[in-house]
């Protein structure tokens, strides 16, 4: 984040991604110092004054109305997730609060019951807003992180973090055939979360760690892309069952806060569905063998 704030950074990044020809503006061949739209061009498209937009982008005005934000979203051609992110940033940009100790994230009894209900052959993971793994069923552990201790989510000090795994763990990186797509989805989710919770020091610490340890994360984070991946298809190279294509669905509470349930499914009757069934079988707990009662000969006298 620059000295101007998250809202200003996001507006500047979105403006830089649009070319004049993208929005029907003629340039008449003049030499331009910026690759994207100029501030005055965006202001004109949004129907607001150029000085006001300049103050907004420089962090000098933090009370933009919903109408102004919607006009800017239309001019910048933002999608639904980006538009919501813009409103989140505007709502939180004027807050002056000391960083509070984040509350511990826990799964609710209802979420635990749901996770137990789909224990069968469907991989499922419960993640917190910072992508900490709070719980998983056996297929979920086997699909996403079979190389880790299955009990690690039970210990807050050892909980896996999906963002760290995607960027810093070699096993997880090799798991995704199109790793950049998965990585962009993780960064896009963290952008949305940071817009909603700008005062979360644990989230800021995670982002800082990933920025320092991964050049790829730092580059993607600087792009200010937001991405709401409620449903996404991924091809995965699994060390136990081979290549499998799954649909990862994120089931979030209506409030958009708190733990989310991530479920992986495959098309009925497909080879990937058979692979998930095999994975559930090989990760199932083994029953102890029944004691063998051999016949005992009674010596004759």
What digits encode the pLDDT tens for the residues 254-289?
666 678 999 999 999 999 999 999 998 888 776 555
Q: Is residue 86 part of a domain?
A: yes
Q: Per-residue confidence at 161, pLDDT binned at 50, 70, 90? A: very high
Examine the domain organization and report whether 88 and 113 are in the same domain.
no
Q: Tell me which of 74-78, 212-216, 245-249, 250-254 is least confident.
A: 250-254
Q: Tell me which of 5-9, 145-149, 267-271 is least confident.
A: 5-9
Examine the domain organization and report whether 117 and 85 are in the same domain.
no
Angle at 195 between CA 192 and CA 198, to 5 degrees: 135
Examine the domain organization and report whether 169 and 266 are in the same domain.
yes
Q: Is the pLDDT of residue 152 over 50?
A: yes
Q: Is the pLDDT of residue 84 over 80?
A: yes
Q: Is residue 294 part of a domain?
A: no
**122: domain range?**
109-177+228-283
In this prediction, residue 276 carries a pLDDT of 93
Based on the structure, what is the number of domains in the chain?
A: 2
Mean pLDDT of 107-112: 82
Q: Is residue 41 part of a domain?
A: yes
* Better-predicted residue by pLDDT, 22 or 221: 221
């Amino acid at each position: 984040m620059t000295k101007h704030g998250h809202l200003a950074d996001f507006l500047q990044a979105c403006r830089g991604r649009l070319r004049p020809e993208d929005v029907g503006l003629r340039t008449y061949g003049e030499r331009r110092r910026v690759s994207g739209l100029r501030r005055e061009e965006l202001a004109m498209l949004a129907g607001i004054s150029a000085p006001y937009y300049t103050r907004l982008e420089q962090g000098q005005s933090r009370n933009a109305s919903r109408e102004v934000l919607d006009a800017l979203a239309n001019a910048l051609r933002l999608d639904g997730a980006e538009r919501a992110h813009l409103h989140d940033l505007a709502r939180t940009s004027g807050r002056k609060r000391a960083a509070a100790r984040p509350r511990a994230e826990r799964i609710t009894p209802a979420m635990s019951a749901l996770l137990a209900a789909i224990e069968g052959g469907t991989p499922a993971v419960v993640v917190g807003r910072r992508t900490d793994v709070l719980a998983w069923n056996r297929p979920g552990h086997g699909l996403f992180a079979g190389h880790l201790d299955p009990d690690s989510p039970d210990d807050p000090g050892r909980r896996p973090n999906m963002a760290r795994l995607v960027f810093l763990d070699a096993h997880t990186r090799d798991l995704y055939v199109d790793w950049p797509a998965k990585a962009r989805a993780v960064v896009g989710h963290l952008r949305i979360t940071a817009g909603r919770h700008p005062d979360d020091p644990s989230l800021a610490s995670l982002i800082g760690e990933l920025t320092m340890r991964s050049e790829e994360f730092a580059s993607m984070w600087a792009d200010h892309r937001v991405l709401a991946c409620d449903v996404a298809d991924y091809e995965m190279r699994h060390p136990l069952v081979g290549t499998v294509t799954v649909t990862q669905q994120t089931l979030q509470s209506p409030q958009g806060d708190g733990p989310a349930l991530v479920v992986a499914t495959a098309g009925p009757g497909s080879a990937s569905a058979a692979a998930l069934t095999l994975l559930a079988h090989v990760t199932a707990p083994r029953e102890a063998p029944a004691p063998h009662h051999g016949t005992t000969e009674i010596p004759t006298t």
